[in-house]
Amino acid sequence: MALMARRVVHIHPTLLCNLTCAHCYSTSSPKMPRGLEPEDILRATAKMAKDGYDSASLSGGEPTIYFGLDRLCAGLRDQGYAVSVITNGLQPDRIVNFAERHQPDLISVSFDGLAPRHDLIRRKKGSFDRAMTTLKALSDKGHRCGAVVSLGEDGMEDIPALVAQVAAAGAGHVQLHPVSELGRGLTSAIVKEPRDETLLRAMVLSQLLDVMHPECRIICDALTGELLQAKPRPKVGELVSPVVIGADGQVFPVAYGLADQFSFGDLRGALAETVYSPDMVDLIDRCWDAAAKREATAFYPDLTRLSQTMVSA
């Protein structure tokens, strides 16, 4: 069993970003270095493609300002990957030009709420309008596009109107994604990780919005404990999905920010097989048992925290 249906490689080629968002789990900013050499990433993804990985998801940092984006996208395509990109939408012309050049299979623009909340969290006035302009321009050019909406403890009242706006702008999907208390999100005074009840509310809301907007698929990245309990768990030796490549070159199973002991290694060196190890399955089992008793769970933030706790213990 994979945690995701497709074999996904989630790549953070750089943590360089043109924003300094309050909740950024990867602590990306304009002060970060330029990132990994695309050839180093492509050597690792070539091996993964042979193992059966077929989907590459690029985030960061802001992937559309990554110096090696053209070479990376072209290389991933040559290796047979479906390529998806998540962008903050801050530079509409640049992003649309990128999409025109590379025709990604999916490009998602991230949002944090309606304009006042979005601009507050992004720490940049006008960033909401630019993101909406980008989404509309991508849709107008015929690109398959959508929106990823961050979900914190506060701000859910923005979501129905936001979903209506992004659906009208041409989004084919909306993903409500719970924020994690990781990176800058750990100390953010503006955005807090949603509690279980808030996750449950978001799940119900996503179902209602999905019925309201038949042209747009709306999902929430959370599960009830009961649904999680019913899912099959990963087994030792099975191929991991997603695999997460960090901007430091470290390759991890399943989630960003896991404790170092779970790393498959550095992609510039010898990488271990990207299969579930006994330690990783043990970690997932413990997290699964706890999460399955809860009202609702986003699972991945819990997994990351548990891995760090196990190491410090």
Partner 1 sequence: MLNVEKLNTEQALELMANRVASNKISRDSLGAISKAIFNDEFPVIGFDVCKYGTCWDFEFKGPLVKFDLQRLMELVPGRVRNVDIMIDGITDPERLRVRVGQELG
Residues that contact partner 1, how many (by CB under 8 A): 22
Backbone angles phi, psi at 231, to 5 degrees: -85, 145
From candidates 39, 78, 226, 279, binder to partner 1 by CB under 8 A: 226
Q: In angstroms, what is the minimal distance from the CB of 181 to partner 1? A: 21
Residue (148 or 283) nearer to partner 1, CB: 148
Other Cβ atoms within 10 Å of 268 Cβ, number = 14
Q: Does 160 bind partner 1 (CB under 8 A)?
A: yes
Q: In angstroms, what is the minimal distance from the CB of 173 to partner 1? A: 17
Residue 137 near residue 183 (C-beta atoms within 8 A) = no
Distance of CA 173 to the CA centre of its chain: 14
Q: Does 1 bind partner 1 (CB under 8 A)?
A: no
Q: Does 201 bind partner 1 (CB under 8 A)?
A: yes
Backbone angles phi, psi at 147, to 5 degrees: -135, 140
Q: Residue 115 corresponds to which tokens in the numbers above?
A: 């304009």
Rounded-to-integer distance, Cα 276 and Cα 278, Å: 7
Alpha helices in 271-313 (DSSP H): 278-291, 300-312
33's torsion region: left (phi>0), alpha (psi -120 to 50) or beta?
A: beta
Q: Does 311 bind partner 1 (CB under 8 A)?
A: no
Q: Does 230 bind partner 1 (CB under 8 A)?
A: yes
Beta strands in the chain (DSSP E): 8-11, 55-58, 82-87, 106-111, 145-151, 173-178, 217-220, 223-224, 243-245, 250-253, 265-266, 296-297
Q: In angstroms, what is the minimal distance from the CB of 122 to partner 1? A: 21
**Cα dihedral: 194, 276, 312, 310 (round 10):** 70
Residue (55 or 206) nearer to partner 1, CB: 206
Q: Does 227 bind partner 1 (CB under 8 A)?
A: yes
Residue (39 or 157) nearer to partner 1, CB: 157
Q: In angstroms, what is the minimal distance from the CB of 228 to partner 1? A: 11
Residue (124 or 217) nearer to partner 1, CB: 217
Tell me which residues in 171-200 interact with partner 1 (CB under 8 A): 197, 200
Q: Does 204 bind partner 1 (CB under 8 A)?
A: yes
Residue numbers at the binding site for partner 1 (CB under 8 A): 156-160, 197, 200-201, 203-205, 207-209, 211-212, 224, 226-227, 230, 295-296
